[in-house]
Amino acid sequence: MNFELSLGFEDVAIRQQKGIVQHRSDVDISSEVIKGVILKIPLIASCMSTVTNANFCNLLSANGALGIMHRAWKDNNDYINECKKLTGEWRAAAIGISGNDFELANMLVKVGINILVVDVAHGYTDWVIEFGKKIKIAHPNIKLVLGNTNNIGLLLETKSFVDGIRCGVSNGAICQTSNMTGCQEKQFSVVYKFKRVSKEYSIPILSDGGVREASDLCKAIGACANSCIAGKIFAACPESAAPVVPNTNSSKKLYAGQASRFVQENWLGTIKNNCTEGKIEYLEIGESVDKLLQRYAGALRSGISYAGGKDIKSFQESVDFVRLA
């Protein structure tokens, strides 16, 4: 049997090319991360209850990035009230596709949400596609992101109305989908396979998962992503929504997967389908979010310069990858 090779960010590197900028600071890393949504820094905080709240999203926006409000609220009124506190130009919120989620989406739009991110584990189904169509018919000016998926079929079936595709399944640091179900493709290969269709139909790709260090952002953007969604790197920030847990030697941040027992029981009071596809991890409290963003932004500028680019468009055209032994 001939199996397709699947590579992670750790399996590849960027080949040095002739530089075309005198100073790395001259590199433009702004990116259209979703149709019509341009960020100065193409990094997005994941819609996880131990990552984002309104305050953290506002800090991200103030620093040129974006955060997506999570949907793990026991009471939708609490969710709506938290979303009312968002102050950035772009205000993103996660939404499900069942029960009263369409009505919730309508209420979120009324309080100023202008990016709706359909947030389900298996994002390539007819139910996701039909829900997305329904949202765009009701709110044609709202930006719509669908996912998660590893399959370009979702983009091809929604290219007439979607504003972004969230790609990546089971590559997050605390995701257990691969362990529980066996479903996984490594993130670099997932992003790279979207390259042709993303450019052909001008649909931005949001690479979700697998960012452990700054070089992973460079590789994902080079492969064709318009942005990276990350959880763990943001959860460690002192300003994140992750609760602080006292420790013998030092306090830690509790980081939990949305499909973990911790989140599911706090949100729904039970475990859906008796299958937990996430775990918890205790993180050392890291650098402030502004310093984190500047470090990643600096790394991306430098990575683009090494690859012979001056901005993201030229970077994606000039970049050459090598496979590491």
Give the separation between CA 293 and CA 9, rounded to whole angstroms.
20
User: Residue 319 has what pLDDT?
Assistant: 98
Residue with token string 């596609």: 129
Name residue 238's amino acid: P
Low-confidence spans in the chain with pLDDT less than 70: 259-275
Close Cβ partners of 271 (under 8 Å, ≥ 6 residues apart): 261, 264, 265
pLDDT digits (tens, 9 = 90+) for 294-311: 999 999 999 999 999 999
pTM of the model: 0.94
User: Residue 177 has what pLDDT?
Assistant: 79
Sketch out the chain's domains with CATH numbers.
12-323 (3.20.20.70)
Q: How far apart, in Å, do the first and last CA atoms of the chain sit?
A: 23
Tokens matching residue 139: 């709110």
User: Residue 179 has what pLDDT?
Assistant: 78
- Collapsing DSSP to helix, strand or coil, 41 comes out as coil
Handedness of CA 262, 268, 271, 272 (dihedral sign): negative
Residue with token string 């089971």: 170
Give the separation between CA 43 and CA 68, rounded to whole angstroms.
11
User: Residue 153 has what pLDDT?
Assistant: 98
Which of 93, 90, 32 minimizes the C-alpha distance to 61? Answer: 90
